[in-house]
């Protein structure tokens, strides 16, 4: 009997004690698990009821990767996690960049490399991708808690928990559980900023480098990290600034790898053209987005598809009403992100607002004719300063907490079902 209370039991008690004391980890696990359950339930239900009903379902559906997995149950369970770009990441994980066309260079290597490595343990690449995303999601949410606590915790003690809840229930948070690198970007970007705030520049640079080698937006971390460095050193530069060179080095490592494998090493710089994105100045891009949104207002107000108000979308196969609603929704995400950016500049160190700003500038500067803001709703989900600002706002306006989180969760359910049935969510 004594052995059960002896030394062998002590480590377990200590570990549980650490977990109980780590409010950030506990909150992150609960929020991530809640999001995962919502995504699985709503996505699987939508697929079970409507199937692959999206008008573009045949564009990217390689047999054996994201559908036709062996049974209808497997297809149903995979639906919320493996659509669209997920197929590309699975292709790269299994076959590398050879034979997948120039468009494969758009998909950075770190995440598919992790998928291939974990998948080789016997669980398969698709399950590995979901597992990696979930673990990264938890890490990212934990760091959002700690960053919010660092910046707001003394004055707004509820802000860290609310920031995590808002991020986990954001309408496009399903990308953070899917076979996409968004969760990896969230984990590395939040961790890089955390270590920068603590003055550990080697860790900040290393994590930023991994982010830049995993996602097209990862390179943009160089701006907030640079601003935090200058703030910490009172606008003087010392030798340790060289650690931040690891951020562009991560991007450069991808280019070097492509060159070694016999591909065009500069392809990532213009691979966006494969997906019909072309550079314009941000003012022109914002103007196009505004025009598309206004056309959406006119289309919906007319109640008819007879007259087409945004003709570029029709040329890409969208119905007038679908184009109208999509462009209006994306513009709403833009306005929300802009409001959060302004609040971040007012309430947080400038690096946080600058990170939101540079991401918005890049997205607006590479429009698609049919949807000038395509991709924005997905990218706002990983803009962690947005969640931090919302955590503070909700902690001040507590009466709005339940309505805002409920509305956000409703959006998450809707968009997950839309995504799972092969409708394009940008």
Structure tokens that stand for 319 in this block: 């119905």
In angstroms, the CA 270 to CA 255 distance is: 12
Q: pLDDT category, 271, cuts 50, 70, 90?
A: confident
State yes or no: pLDDT of 412 exceeds 80: yes
Burial 384-413 (b: 16+ CB within 10 A, else e): bbbbbbbbbbbbeeeeebeebbeebbebbb
Please tell me whether residues 202 and 89 are part of one structural domain: yes
Q: pLDDT category, 203, cuts 50, 70, 90?
A: very high
- How many structural domains are present in the chain? 2
The per-residue pLDDT for 4 is 40
State yes or no: pLDDT of 241 exceeds 90: yes
Please tell me whether residues 217 and 77 are part of one structural domain: yes
How large is the average pLDDT for residues 39-49? 97
Which of 252, 267, 273 is closest to 97 using CA atoms?
Answer: 267
State yes or no: pLDDT of 330 exceeds 90: yes
How large is the average pLDDT for residues 84-91? 91
Q: Where is pLDDT greater, at 200 or 63?
A: 200
* Alpha-carbon dihedral 373, 379, 381, 384, rounded to 10 degrees: -130
Dump pLDDT digits (tens) for 146-156: 999 999 988 99
Tell me which H or E stretch contains 16. helix 10-21
Q: pLDDT category, 399, cuts 50, 70, 90?
A: very high
Please tell me whether residues 67 and 173 are part of one structural domain: yes
Q: Where is pLDDT greater, at 246 or 69?
A: 246
Q: Which of 338, 355, 373 is the last residue of a domain?
A: 373
Give the list of residues 6+ apart from residue 347 with CB closer than 8 angstroms, or none: 151, 152, 389, 392
Q: Does some domain include residue 393? A: no
The per-residue pLDDT for 99 is 55
Dump pLDDT digits (tens) for 170-200: 999 999 999 999 999 999 999 999 999 999 9
State yes or no: pLDDT of 339 exceeds 70: yes
Structural Rg of the chain based on CA atoms:
22
State yes or no: pLDDT of 336 exceeds 90: yes
Please tell me whether residues 31 and 129 are part of one structural domain: yes
State yes or no: pLDDT of 302 exceeds 60: yes
Please tell me whether residues 329 and 255 are part of one structural domain: no
Q: Does some domain include residue 380? A: no
State yes or no: pLDDT of 63 exceeds 70: no
Give the list of residues 6+ apart from residue 15 with CB closer than 8 angstroms, or none: none
Please tell me whether residues 247 and 324 are part of one structural domain: no
Q: Does some domain include residue 260? A: yes
Structure tokens that stand for 31 in this block: 């929020």
Please tell me whether residues 221 and 101 are part of one structural domain: yes
Q: Does some domain include residue 384? A: no
Please tell me whether residues 369 and 406 are part of one structural domain: no
Which of 293, 301, 303 is closest to 324 using CA atoms?
Answer: 293
Please tell me whether residues 148 and 286 are part of one structural domain: no
Q: Does some domain include residue 42? A: yes
> Coil, strand or helix: which one is 339?
helix
Report the range of poorest mean pLDDT among 5-19, 99-113, 366-380. 5-19
Please tell me whether residues 263 and 282 are part of one structural domain: no
Do 190 and 140 form a contact (C-beta atoms < 8 A)? yes
Do 298 and 309 form a contact (C-beta atoms < 8 A)? yes
DSSP 362-414: HHHHS--SS-TTTTHHHHHTT-HHHHHHHHHHHHHSGGGHHHHHHHHHHHHHH
Q: Does some domain include residue 6? A: no
Q: Does some domain include residue 13? A: no
Please tell me whether residues 254 and 155 are part of one structural domain: yes
Dump pLDDT digits (tens) for 218-230: 999 999 999 999 9
Q: Which DSSP letter does residue 1 get?
A: -
Q: pLDDT category, 238, cuts 50, 70, 90?
A: very high
Give the list of residues 6+ apart from residue 408 with CB closer than 8 angstroms, or none: 166, 169, 170, 171
The per-residue pLDDT for 297 is 97
Average pLDDT of the chain, as a whole number: 90
Please tell me whether residues 195 and 80 are part of one structural domain: yes
Give the list of residues 6+ apart from residue 145 with CB closer than 8 angstroms, or none: 23, 24, 27, 28, 160, 161, 163, 164
User: In terms of residue numbers, what domain contains 335?
Assistant: 278-373
Q: Does some domain include residue 240? A: yes
């Amino acid at each position: 009997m004594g052995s059960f209370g002896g030394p062998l039991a002590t480590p377990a008690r200590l570990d549980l004690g650490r977990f109980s004391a780590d409010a950030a980890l506990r909150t992150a696990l609960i929020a991530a698990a809640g999001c995962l359950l919502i995504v699985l339930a709503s996505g699987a239900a939508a697929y079970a009821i409507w199937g692959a009903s999206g008008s573009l379902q045949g564009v990217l559906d390689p047999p054996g990767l994201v559908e036709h997995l062996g049974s209808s149950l497997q297809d149903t369970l995979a639906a919320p996690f493996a659509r669209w770009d997920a197929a590309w990441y699975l292709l790269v994980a299994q076959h590398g960049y050879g034979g997948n066309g120039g468009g494969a260079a758009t998909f950075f290597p770190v995440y598919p490399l992790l998928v291939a490595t974990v998948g080789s343990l016997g669980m398969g690449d698709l399950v590995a991708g979901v597992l990696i995303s979930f673990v990264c999601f938890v890490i990212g949410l934990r760091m959002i808690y700690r960053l919010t606590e660092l910046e707001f915790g003394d004055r707004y003690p509820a802000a860290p928990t609310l920031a995590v809840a808002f991020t986990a229930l954001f309408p496009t948070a399903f990308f953070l559980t899917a076979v996409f690198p968004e969760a990896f970007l969230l984990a590395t970007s939040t961790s890089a900023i955390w270590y920068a705030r603590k003055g550990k520049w080697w860790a900040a640079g290393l994590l930023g480098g991994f982010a830049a080698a995993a996602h097209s937006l990862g390179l943009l971390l160089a701006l907030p990290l640079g601003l935090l460095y200058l703030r910490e050193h009172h606008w003087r530069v010392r030798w340790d600034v060289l650690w931040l060179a690891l951020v562009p080095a991560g991007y450069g490592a991808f280019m070097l790898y492509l060159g070694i494998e016999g591909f065009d090493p500069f392809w990532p710089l213009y691979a966006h053209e494969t997906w019909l994105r072309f550079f314009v100045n941000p003012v022109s891009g914002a103007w196009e987005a505004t025009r598309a949104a206004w056309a959406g207002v006119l289309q919906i107000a007319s109640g008819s598809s007879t007259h087409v108000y945004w003709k570029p979308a029709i040329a890409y196969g969208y119905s007038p009403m679908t184009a109208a609603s999509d462009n209006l929704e994306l513009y709403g995400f833009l306005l929300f992100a802009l409001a959060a950016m302004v609040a971040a500049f007012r309430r947080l160190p400038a690096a946080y607002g600058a990170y939101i700003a540079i991401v918005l500038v890049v997205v607006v500067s590479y429009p698609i004719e049919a949807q000038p803001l395509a991709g924005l709703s997905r990218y706002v989900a990983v803009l962690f300063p947005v969640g931090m600002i919302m955590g503070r706002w909700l902690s001040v306006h507590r009466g709005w907490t339940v309505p805002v989180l409920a509305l956000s969760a409703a959006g998450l359910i809707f968009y997950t079902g839309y995504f799972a049935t092969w409708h394009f969510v940008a």
